[in-house]
Amino acid sequence: MKLVVIGNGMVGHRLLEELSAAALPDLHITVLCEEPRPAYDRVQLSSFFSGKSAADLSLVAPGFFERSGITLRLNTRASAIDRARRQVTTANGDTLHYDKLVLATGSYPFVPPVPGSDRPDCFVYRTIEDLEALREAGRRARVGVVVGGGLLGLEAAKAVQDMGLVTHVVEFAPRLMAVQIDDGGGRLLRSKIEALGVTVHTQKNTVEIVDGDTARHKLRFADGTELETDLIVFSAGIRPRDELARACGLAVGPRGGIVIDNHCRTPDDDIYAIGECALWNGKIYGLVAPGYEMARVCAAHLAAGLAAERRATQPLPAFHGADMSTKLKLMGVEVASIGDALGTTPGAQVCLYSDERKQVYKKLVISADGKRLLGAVLVGDAGEYAALLQMMRSGSALPDRPELLILPASDGADKSALGVDAWPDTAPVCSCNNVAKGAVCAAVRAGATSIGAIKSATRAGTGCGGCVPLITQIMKAEMKKQGLSVNHHLCEHFAYSRQELYHLVRVGGIRDFATLLARHGKGLGCDVCKPVAASIFASCWNEFVLARDKAALQDTNDYFLANLQKDGTYSIVPRIAGGEITPEKLIKIGEVAKKYRLYTKITGGQRIDLFGARVDQLPLIWQELIDAGFESGHAYGKAVRTVKSCVGSTWCRYGVQDSVGMALKIEHRYKGLRAPHKLKLAVSGCARECAEAQSKDVGVIATEKGWNLYVCGNGGMKPRHAELLAGDLDEQTLIRYIDRFLMFYIRTADRLQRTSTWRDNLEGGLDYLKDVIVHDKLGIGAELEAEMAQVIGSYVCEWKKALEDPQTRKRFRSFVNGDGVDEHVVFVEERGQIRPATPAEKQARFKGIAVVNEPA
């Protein structure tokens, strides 16, 4: 069957994912996408202005189209549909035959038809191209106006403000977000947004846009007032893209939208419409969740058509509408609207809590009989959103005193009615992906006991991420029910999480394992808690890791200050800070490698790894390296490893700052710092980002004005782009933030948790991290800096120290009762260097057969 899908937006792409997951044979899909790039996350579009790239926003899993055999044609607009011939014509004249056709054409931004709205530097806010154009214009502008004070308008206002422009919002209605929230909520939202420096104009009807006197444009309003601005963003609602459907005679609504039934089918059996272009029961849904639901329904219907014999066995899912409840964070202000937020149901009663000092507004809309929740508005704090939404959707009975649901939880007020335990399994928890509580619980029962596992098992929390705290709650509740311990106990010896243990060590001034075990643990310890304790001691006090009372805690890498390899030999990585090395030192490494016959390889962190050293060789090799001016590279430790850098402004034609110089400063500042897991850093000298800093735990990227600081990136197993923590920093502030960031991570992360997973599990996410590091909301900034200063001040090269201490040096021997080497370690030669022999090669050798090189 030939399926043509017109449109590769969020909903169109979800359809492809659903179809691909169903793995239907004999289905050939062609996708026509008028945009130059495949599906991306329009919901997060504004993050484009806070450092995200177009690639970050992509919704397409790497290799998705290749793997699923779907033909994607970018920059290809469909221009006509011939229903009789079942053909789609594209703008460049191709015709494609279809058996089934899905219209996922989305919507376009509505621009009020006022004279002058087509002037230059007037924009809409829909595609990445729109944002790129806006950003370009923003560089030349001082003032920006957003026309439209709805949800998307306020998003656009944030973007305009992020560009550093004086920002105005112009709204026709008497309040902001007039559709979702009431007057009281609108008032609070307005005051909060104005406090952030955005000027709000309500009840303004723009009649004309003309040349300005002090700026590029002037908006004239019906009430005779005027507003000058350099650029304008129109965000006054959306209209369905239904022109193709109209032209081929499909039914459309009086105000647009392609008419569909409960299976997302148009009156033409072979044509479906999903997402914002579709009109269901007289309604257009401008949110992504209902669109995803339509994609699911449509995919199931298409699949059933392919496998007609299965049709009778299972009822097909159908679309039954969606409520427009929504929760979002606008310019840092939490806003939520649930169900009948405006209280238009006849007889509806209102229960209201408002605190202007605390800037919180909460309203419940209750049925006439007082038994059910119809809707709610939350501004300033939307913590109860998930619970109230569930209550409204399930129609469950309200508690006797519903006001307690929104009153601050003090004076013994009982909020237990909000607890997840009381929810039915059908309660939706992730609306982006339509996952119910029951699915999360089932995943827990099937063994998923971490948020990551829940996400991959159910998809819950992988959309906007807003439900992650809720899912965590549900997961923990279910784990408890299953008798699974929800504790984060490190191991059987310590009934504490790593974070708690860190605190106990720091506050109790504990410096050795025996004391820690005696005060807070039991038993002898194990291979889990010992290295954790050693790492915490090192992070807090930075004493020599091979001191007699510390050495026994170290994993073999730290015990021998080298990296254990599969055959029991070790590898050596001298520090090459910033990847900068003199020819003399380079030669020295070569000489040492040659002398001890080590395999050499350049690492990803711009260093050189020397493989194949025996324990007894390590001190000899290091003596030579240290004599030549090298120091330990800590490649063996859960510690700061490298600061990778590009060559920067010193040599590069494009560099704007000295990235190598900065990398050296940073590496020498933090070298050897031990942490819950390894730490990789990088510095790029310009936005071209040759050092790949955005894949590092800490990435620094030069700007014209200073340095941008990115955090919590990761390459490796689960790549994650780093996020912008703060921009255009001077050197001093940059270092201060890195100090705080690293110490905060060391304080709070779990054992073996990289910064990326730590960040994914951090409640409050990036905003919280910014609050702690940049705004110092917890008031611990100075403390973190002081703790870092202590570690930095007590740095010594561990290898130097180890070589100076005869007792330590004596431990580096292969056998306690004699010399000699491990006969089980066998090397063969390959490409001019050694490598460990394979078991077959070893056997051959022991039988006296000459080992031959394998052909390369």
Partner 1 sequence: MDGSNAPACWHDVCGLDDIWPDTGVCARIAGRQVAVFRLRDDRLFALDNYDPAADANVLSRGLVGNLGERLVVASPVYKHHYDLVTGACLDDPALAVRAYRVRLVDGRVQVAV
Q: Residues within the annotated binding site for siroheme?
A: 690
Is 552 among the residues that bind partner 1 (CB under 8 A)?
Answer: yes
Smallest gap from residue 816 Cβ to partner 1 (A) = 4
Is 597 among the residues that bind partner 1 (CB under 8 A)?
Answer: no
Q: Return the half-sphere exposure (C-beta side, CA atoms, 13 A cut-off) of residue 606.
A: 23
Q: What are phi and psi of 830, to 5 degrees?
A: -150, 130
Treating both helix axes as pointing N-terminal to C-terminal, what angle do 468-481 and 437-445 enclose, rounded to 10 degrees? 50
Query: For partner 1, which is the closer residue by CB, 407 or 551?
Result: 551
Smallest gap from residue 559 Cβ to partner 1 (A) = 7
Is 847 among the residues that bind partner 1 (CB under 8 A)?
Answer: no
Taking CB under 8 A as the binding criterion, the range among 103-111, 122-130, 185-193, 555-563 that sits at the site for partner 1 is 555-563
Q: What are phi and psi of 97, to 5 degrees?
A: -80, 145
Counting runs of H as helices and runs of E as strands, what totals does the chain give? 27, 38
Task: Provide the β-strand partners of residue 793.
Answer: none
Residue position matching structure tokens 């508005």: 377
* One of 261, 270, 512, 555 touching partner 1 (CB under 8 A): 555
Binding residues: 646, 652, 686, 690
Distance CA 516, CA 553 (A): 12
Distance CA 598, CA 610 (A): 6
* One of 422, 446, 514, 518 touching partner 1 (CB under 8 A): 514
Taking CB under 8 A as the binding criterion, the range among 86-94, 164-172, 334-342, 526-534 that sits at the site for partner 1 is 526-534
* One of 129, 183, 211, 492 touching partner 1 (CB under 8 A): 492
Binding residues for [4Fe-4S] cluster: 646, 652, 686, 690
Smallest gap from residue 566 Cβ to partner 1 (A) = 7
Query: For partner 1, which is the closer residue by CB, 109 or 531?
Result: 531
Residue type, 650: T
Query: For partner 1, which is the closer residue by CB, 225 or 843?
Result: 843
Taking CB under 8 A as the binding criterion, the range among 235-243, 337-345, 558-566, 718-726 that sits at the site for partner 1 is 558-566
Is 494 among the residues that bind partner 1 (CB under 8 A)?
Answer: no
Helices (H), 50-116: 54-57, 64-68
Query: For partner 1, which is the closer residue by CB, 209 or 639?
Result: 639
* One of 226, 629, 824, 849 touching partner 1 (CB under 8 A): 824
Query: For partner 1, which is the closer residue by CB, 14 or 530?
Result: 530
* One of 64, 98, 292, 560 touching partner 1 (CB under 8 A): 560
Is 519 among the residues that bind partner 1 (CB under 8 A)?
Answer: no
Tokens of 214: 């002090």
Give the x-and-dash track for 656-695 against partner 1 (CB under 8 A): ----------------------------------------
What is the full DSSP assignment across 244-292? HHHHTT--B-TTS-EEE-TTSB-SSTTEEE-GGGEEETTB---SHHHHH
Distance CA 330, CA 169 (A): 13
Taking CB under 8 A as the binding criterion, the range among 114-122, 214-222, 320-328, 816-824 that sits at the site for partner 1 is 816-824
Give the x-and-dash track for 827-846 against partner 1 (CB under 8 A): ------------x-------
Residue 223 is classified by DSSP as T
Question: Distances in Å between the alpha carbon of 574 and those of 563, 605, 621, 640, 704?
Answer: 12, 12, 11, 13, 34
Is 559 among the residues that bind partner 1 (CB under 8 A)?
Answer: yes
Q: How far is CA 91 from the centre of its chain?
A: 37
Q: What are phi and psi of 90, to 5 degrees?
A: -100, 165
What is the full DSSP assignment across 459-508? -TTSSS-TTHHHHHHHHHHHHHHTT-------BTTBSS-HHHHHHHHHHH
* One of 287, 564, 647, 797 touching partner 1 (CB under 8 A): 564
Q: How far apart are the first and last CA of the chain?
A: 47
Using CB atoms within 10 Å of the CB of residue 514, give its burial: 0 to 12 exposed, 13 to 18 middle, 19+ buried: exposed
Is 447 among the residues that bind partner 1 (CB under 8 A)?
Answer: no
Residue count at the site for partner 1 (CB under 8 A)?
35
Tokens of 79: 């221009």
Query: For partner 1, which is the closer residue by CB, 818 or 855?
Result: 818
Taking CB under 8 A as the binding criterion, the range among 200-208, 340-348, 646-654, 817-825 that sits at the site for partner 1 is 817-825
Tokens of 434: 């339509």
Using CB atoms within 10 Å of the CB of residue 185, give its burial: 0 to 12 exposed, 13 to 18 middle, 19+ buried: buried
Question: Which residues lie near partner 1 (CB under 8 A)?
Answer: 492-493, 514, 523-527, 529-531, 548, 551-553, 555-557, 559-560, 564, 566-568, 811, 814-818, 820, 822, 824-825, 839
